[in-house]
Chains A and B, each alone.
Chain A
């Protein structure tokens, strides 16, 4: 089950909303836990035990760290090794099982990657580390902790919610009409971003993949559409998660802040997948010394963090693409810290163009099928199969409005217009908002019931 399918929208969500608001406050967490496990179970039945084990294991480690202060460091190390080890075990099963098969002549199949394992493992680790550091209060109630970790809105594809973000809300959260309504509106915005924009952009990307000898014009169409698709896919999911969080009384951290308007790569990563960048900053970069070390060491720290960021996205045999993708950003960030940043600060349009170019090439690397696929895609962009072809021109024309809407939607302009309207004509928005919500729901539903399966891109991480 995903947020943009019929079982979730028309069975799971309405039933859960009714039950949730009928359930006494003391029992709400238990209901959310059961619902979250059911949500996960419908998408990943065989690995539900792994999620429960992760919740139980990290709960016990945090309990032990608090209970045995003298042994807290080794306990933390064991907890981190187990978390990372599990993640590596599954993410790279294709590699190590392939190695074993080659060694022993066996025919074992690689393991499938458990849904959302990268997200919930990082959330679980943040709790254990924060308890170790004294930054988070110990949660003694295992069900409350499990509710946090398994909470379905953010379980599968983020945002990466830290325990400290929702600590208070787990025990005392308020449910107001405003939060409920704004949450549903935010969810609808996310649904429309995913279903209407991201999926349609994805269709254009697929046509590029199906083309026999795509020209450079087709390659650039793909590059633009893929960069927009991945933004609307992931930010749409984050909107839905944040919106659902508000409906159930939680305030999740924002995950995107119009990254494509950035004037530098540094700014881009402050705006893109903010909760992941923040996680690496607080749990890797700063412990390594951050920027308060010698310049070479600082650069090394940046490279380590960004190689790890790439690695976090990767799995199986395609991992090298993601490591390179992360390293590319690491190198560019180093260059920005050394000299490029000053140039971009003085001439923001140059920095902006640089960000757009890097992002387009970066996501081509991100979406390519291995290193040979990357080289092939790049060669297409530079005209290996000609500069243009009728199919490319056709799809540029056919997708022009969609791309234009997506480009405008990736800027703060729509939100500014809405805020302006609210300030100047609030009465209009009182009518307009419900109308827009029902229109977006109707059109999204029309796409959902008549679509081929189109999973969220970030589910594979």
Chain B
């Protein structure tokens, strides 16, 4: 019996010591990383005492640094999520949950203050820059709306806030989408599934858009990818496939990125291979993008205030307009819009569309 007990003691002590020694050494030997693709954030670098306010801050930063640069950090994040999800049977992990292979963020509690502030800002922009143009708004539901989520945003309340705050016509989208129209591992919708959205926008806007079925879209495959939710939730899921639609009108579009002054590709396959596959659409995040359609039958213009969802729908709408200006108020303050007065000049024939995902309106303040 004593031998067994001794074996137990030796095995326990050795196991513990090897564990802390292995990770203790590995964290020192493994090279530091600058950025976490999974978490979409820069990682803490070795703190420099001279750059800290005091020793307390230095030691706190050191703790963060070690955790950020911890060996097998990504694998450990998955271990945590799997344990919480499969052993503790928690419905959500890190505020994310998985339902039948689809990942979603738990948007609870609703941040009314953010939504109200954002809609007030949109109204201010509309009133200042486009008082005479027909204005529309459409809210893109977050995917959990279609997941029978136990908790989520109150869309009736969001509708009310919009009605009260923004002087524009509503384009309802909730009935045009379903869960399969969103990527399983990403927050975004799939461009190839946007027929219902396209038709809803086509019937409301004044652009000369053909019906979806007559637009001659052909589908191409960019490749497989893991979306932003996969890394953040750290829950097992299958890869998504990203496809995109094109036709003659889209092929002839020209894209200018006003942030850099450079031209870009409507579908940027190099950007698809980067950190965020959704950057396939118009090359990624930018404050102001300008799409020009040289084959347009009229000189109608669409000014689209949008978030990342807008980058995938914009090319589909391009056939009905001579130009589309995409403005992302997450990257530019409204006060700077007057610097682009030529580009944003609008009259009665200019459509102004505020197209925002509820998730963005809820989680941040624009501008």
Bind each other = yes
Interface positions of A (Cβ within 8 A of B): 1, 5-7, 9-11, 13-14, 17, 41-46, 177-178, 180-182, 184-185, 188, 200, 210-212, 390-391, 393-394, 397-402, 405, 426-427, 429-431, 433-435, 437-438, 441-443, 445-451, 453
In the complex the two chains form, is B24's CB within 8 Å of A11's CB? yes
A11-B66 CB under 8 A given contacts A391-B108, A442-B79: yes
Q: Do B23 and A426 have beta carbons less than 8 Å apart?
A: no
Select one of B12, B21, B55, B63 contacting A7, CB under 8 A. Answer: B63
Q: Contacts A393-B150, A430-B4 given; 15 further ones with Cβ under 8 A?
A: A1-B63, A13-B20, A42-B59, A45-B55, A184-B12, A390-B150, A391-B109, A394-B151, A397-B150, A401-B88, A401-B90, A426-B8, A437-B16, A450-B67, A450-B77
Indicate the member of B12, B21, B83 with the most A CB atoms within 10 Å.
Answer: B12
How far apart are the CA atoms of A390 and B91 in the complex, in Å?
Answer: 14
Contact A400 B16 (CB under 8 A): no
Contact with A along B72-104 (1 / 0, CB 8 A): 010011011001100111111010000000000
Complex CA–CA separation, A401 to B4 (angstroms): 34
**CB <8 Å contact, A7 and B62:** yes
Q: Is B56 an interface residue (CB 8 A)?
A: yes
In the complex, chain B residues whose CB is within 8 Å of the CB of A405: 88
What's the nearest-Cβ distance from chain B to residue A439, in Å?
Answer: 10
Which of A182, A427, A438 contacts B19 (CB under 8 A)? A438
Bound together, the chains give a CA A427 to CA B11 distance in angstroms of 12
- Would you give the 0/1 interface string for B20-36, flagging 1 where the beta carbon is closer than 8 Å to chain A? 11011001000000000
On whether the beta carbons of B79 and A210 are closer than 8 Å, the reply is no
Shortest Cβ gap from A178 to chain B (Å): 5
User: Is the CB–CB distance between B76 and A177 below 8 Å?
Assistant: no
Which residues on A sit within 8 Å (CB–CB) of B11? 430-431, 433-434
For residue B13, CB closer than 8 A to chain A, the reply is yes
> Cβ of B17 and Cβ of A14 under 8 Å apart?
yes
Please tell me if the beta carbons of B6 and A177 are within 8 angstroms of each other in the complex: yes
Q: Give the Cβ gap from A206 to chain B, nearest Cβ, in Å.
A: 11
Name the A residues within 8 Å of B16 (CB-CB): 184-185, 188, 437-438, 441
Write the nearest CB–CB distance from A380 to chain B, whole angstroms. 15
Which of A210, A429, A438, A443 is close to B80, meaning CB atoms less than 8 Å apart?
Answer: A443
- Chain B residues with CB below 8 A from A45, complex form: 54-56, 59
In the assembled complex, B215 has its CB within 8 A of some CB on chain A: no
User: Quick check: is B48 within 8 A (CB to CB) of the other chain?
Assistant: no
- Evaluate contact between B63 and A5: CB separation under 8 angstroms: yes
Interface residue from A43, A443, A449, A453 paired with B83 (Cβ < 8 Å): A443
When chains A and B are docked, how far (Å) is the Cα of A177 from the Cα of B14? 11
Chain B hits for A437, CB < 8 A? 12, 15-16
- Interface membership of B1, Cβ < 8 A: yes
CB A383 to nearest CB in B, in angstroms, measures: 20
Cβ-defined contact, B17 with A6, below 8 A: no
- Residues on the A chain within 8 Å of B204, using CB: none
Inter-chain contact total with CB atoms closer than 8 Å: 150
Instruction: Give the complex CA separation of A431 and B10 in angstroms.
Output: 11
User: With a CB–CB cut-off of 8 A, which chain A residues contact B258?
Assistant: none
Q: How far is the CA of A210 from the CA of B84 in the complex (A)?
A: 21
| Number of residues from B at the complex interface, CB < 8 A | 50
Nearest CB of A to B286, in Å: 31
Evaluate whether A397 and B88 lie within 8 angstroms (CB atoms) in the complex, with A5-B63, A181-B9 already known.
no
- Known contacts A430-B7, A437-B15, A446-B77: does B20 contact A14 (CB below 8 Å)? yes
| A182 and B9 form a contact (CB under 8 A) | yes
In Å, the complex CA distance between A211 and B109 comes to 7
Residues of B within 8 A of A426 (CB): 1, 4-5, 8
Residues in B whose Cβ lies below 8 Å from that of A433 = 8, 11-12
Q: Which of A185, A391, A400 contacts B89 (CB 8 A)?
A: A400
Shortest beta-carbon distance, B250 to chain A, in Å? 42
24 pairs, A vs B, C-beta closer than 8 Å:
A1-B63, A6-B27, A7-B59, A10-B23, A10-B27, A14-B17, A14-B20, A46-B55, A181-B12, A184-B12, A185-B12, A394-B91, A398-B89, A399-B90, A401-B88, A401-B90, A430-B4, A430-B5, A431-B11, A442-B76, A442-B79, A446-B76, A449-B76, A450-B76
Chain B residues within 8 Å of A, Cβ to Cβ: 1, 4-17, 19-21, 23-24, 27, 54-56, 59-60, 62-63, 66-67, 70, 73, 76-77, 79-80, 83-84, 87-92, 94, 108-109, 150-151, 234
How many angstroms from the CA of A336 to the CA of B15 in the assembled complex? 48
Q: How far is the CB of A190 from chain B (nearest CB, A)?
A: 13
Specify the chain B residue showing the minimal Cβ separation from A6: B66
Please give, as numbers and ranges, the residues of chain A lying within 8 Å of B7 by CB-CB distance.
430
Residues of chain A with a CB closer than 8 A to B88's CB: 200, 401-402, 405
Once the chains bind, are A446 and B4 in contact (CB under 8 Å)? no
Contact A450 B80 (CB under 8 A): yes
Query: When chains A and B are docked, how far (Å) is the Cα of A209 from the Cα of B11?
Result: 44
- List chain B residues, Cβ under 8 A from A450: 67, 73, 76-77, 80, 94, 234
Q: Which B residues touch A200, using CB under 8 A?
A: 84, 88, 90
Please determine whether B20 and A10 come into contact, CB atoms closer than 8 angstroms. Answer: yes
Closest Cβ–Cβ distance, residue B137 to chain A (whole Å): 25
- Which B residue's beta carbon lies closest to that of A212? B109
> What's the nearest-Cβ distance from chain B to residue A321, in Å?
26
Contact B151 A402, beta carbon cutoff 8 Å: no
**Which residues of chain B are near A180, meaning CB under 8 Å?**
9, 13
Return chain A residues, CB-CB under 8 Å to B54: 45-46
Shortest beta-carbon distance from A426 to chain B in Å:
5
A6, A178, A427, A443: the one contacting B79 at CB < 8 Å is: A443
**How far, in whole Å, are A390 and B15 apart by their CA atoms in the complex?**
45
Instruction: List the B residue with the shortest CB-CB distance to A403.
Output: B88
Q: Which residue of A lies closest to B97 (CB)?
A: A398
The CA of A443 and the CA of B82, in the complex, are separated in Å by 10
Residues of A within 8 A of B13 (CB): 177, 180-181, 184
CB distance from A202 to the nearest CB of B (A): 14
Residue of A nearest to B68 (CB): A449
Complex CA–CA separation, A426 to B11 (angstroms) = 14
Beta-carbon nearest neighbor of B16 in chain A: A184
Residues A398 and B63 in contact in the complex (CB < 8 Å), given A393-B150, A438-B15: no
* A445:B23 contact, CB within 8 angstroms: yes
A5 to B66, CA, bound (A): 9
Q: A1 vs B23: C-alpha distance in the bound complex, in angstroms?
A: 18
User: Please, how many angstroms separate the alpha-carbon atoms of A180 and B9 in the complex?
Assistant: 8
Q: For the complex, what is the distance from the CA of A397 to the CA of B150, rounded to whole Å?
A: 10
Evaluate contact between B24 and A401: CB separation under 8 angstroms.
no
Bound-state CA distance A9–B70 (Å) is 12
Most buried by A among B9, B11, B66: B9
Q: Which A-chain residue is minimally distant from B6 (CB atoms)?
A: A177
CB pair B10–A177 under 8 Å, yes or no, is yes
Question: Complex Cα distance A442/B108, Å?
Answer: 30
CB distance from B276 to the nearest CB of A (A): 21
